[in-house]
Structure 1
Amino acid sequence: MPTGDGAHKFENITGQASLDGQGGTEPPSQTISASEHRNIYYRLYTKGGPLESNNPIFSNDRSISRISSKSVRPPRTATSLKRYICKIEGVEGPEKSALYLSQSEKKPVDDSARLALRGDSGPGSSEVDPVVLVVDKGAAKKRPRAASHAGSNELPTWKIERCYGALYYRFYDDDGEAVSKTSFDESDSSLGHVDIFIIPPPHTVASLKECLIHVEGVLGHDIQLLENEDGEVTLNDGNVIALLTDNCPGSKEGQPIVFTYSRKGSDKTTAPETRPSFSKCLTAKHDWDGASYDAAWHSVVAGEILQTDGVAMNKKFSSSGVLERKLLFTTSFEISLGYVQKFHRLILLITGEKPES
């Protein structure tokens, strides 16, 4: 969408949610002047990854929501925007949160900074480039959960392709290659990948490390990221990684970064299971009666909406001890028979447990 001098038109996208942070509707296509109020799109995170909004507008990306600029108290500063978003999301302590004007920002905006929240451009003017609010983990855990109104409305596919890419990495422990929880190739189990959108800003080596530690569930020491498989260049925590570009380390499957850790003699190699933020949803396109073959799996019916944290993993499904199919990750946000099982662990259905509502 244009963000310069050209006129911006709101799009009344088919399937877009009618409810948002204001309980209102997206305005019909129109050109707006520089003095008129507009929607401000935002995405929620904690340092560990995306956080589901209490007011999601898309069923396949529940961390995105929107408000009207008129709801933000003048003078419209970073502080006043943070305070209002925290208010409607039920998050205490807005002073502990950090506001980034886009996903690619290297540092949060100063609290006293005046924000251009009117007109056809500016921070959060598009769902493709929302402002980002990273809230305190403790405050996020304490917030009350509101009823969701997103329904089955989905962020359109072409916008998904602009929002999300993948970062590939190879996983090692002390003894050599280890099986990655996000493996997608049965013949190469140490190669994993994550959606870039699950990594909160600032996109530094430190934030990427924290994300991968959470994804792989490792408890260890001497955790390092290496630029490539040659292992000659160690990425320092303060280094900025341009994750939204095509030439950042790990942007290509054949050129992954390396994630290493040391167990330091401990037999315990994984962190205790924690419930992730289910910020993405997938819609089943077919019925699948997996539970009739194996009680550890969850049967689905066409149209059922499944929630996931966006981290793909590899999981075999067996009937009578025979491998039925290889599981693959899909970025189409649709589930076919070959994909249903892919997200079972991520939505905590491997034990038949439904996600929290």
Structure 2
Amino acid sequence: MAERDIAHVSAVELRTPVLDDTVRFFTDQMAMEVVERRGNSVYLHAWDDYEAFTVKVAGTDTSGIGRTWLRARSPEALERRVRDLEAAGLGEGWISDEFGYGPVFHFTDPDGHPFGIYYETRRYTASDATRPSLKNQAARFPGRGANVRRLDHVNFLARDVPVNEEFLATALTGRASEQIVLNDGTKAAVWYTFTDKSYDLVYTRDWTGTEGRLHHVAFATDTREDILRAADVFLEAGVHIETGPHKHAIQQTFFLYVWEPGGNRIELCNAGARLLLAPDHEVITWTETERAKGQAWGLRTIESFHTHGTPPVVL
């Protein structure tokens, strides 16, 4: 197995046609802090993210996923990944003006989702208002809304799952943890990790056959109870709750899915203590029949979970 060169998924850009409403969702219901504004983009920070920002919200004509940023494990790891990305014909070149980062190499996955990879970073500096009592966390616990701690994972929709899986394994040195294989032998979804977490990036087949869309972005809470409380927070705020709280069979994640005002699906998740510590972990395969049983405790997967993605597609 190749050396893993990605340290973690660090931040994500979300596009929204209702910029102010989406920013309020992240500040009021998700308990994030606005740390920078640049033109039609707003940068927000989750309270225990060591880096300068966690989410970049961009005001655009429609919803969807913008750039996803990855931090390399070292300058040497960055060089290796850039070399392989350029060899694969996926590179777009270097930029040096992104908030919070040093030089960033821009590239796309085979499905057209934009990415950035970098090593040099600027760590979050707490203000008097956000300085924590405990020096081993980035900012003080906000004590409001959902209190999400950090970005957890991104689930992309893809026209061709196997092609993007090859990209994850080779160009990004990820390792597979779980997958869905249909009765005809094709893969409907793959879960990959760069860390000891059970997953960081996911590719799910896009039923529309289009490229570059988003299924959801997930943020981690400390406990299941935080998610139960968040459900009441979202209910009172009029945020659309799509499904949950409940427990996934795949990855055993306790989850809640909502749609932020711009239409993007957001997950609050808690994976408990499940880590992949075995260096020779065997990929868990779920069959079509097993997935038809629904979630871990019997909740049926609702139809919109298979049909809703952003940006919306009119067929």
TM-score of the superposed pair, with normalisation by structure 2: 0.29
Higher relative CO (Cα under 8 Å, sequence separation at least 6) belongs to 2
Q: Which has the higher strand share?
A: 2
Structure with bigger gyration radius:
1
- What is the TM-score normalised by the length of structure 1? 0.27
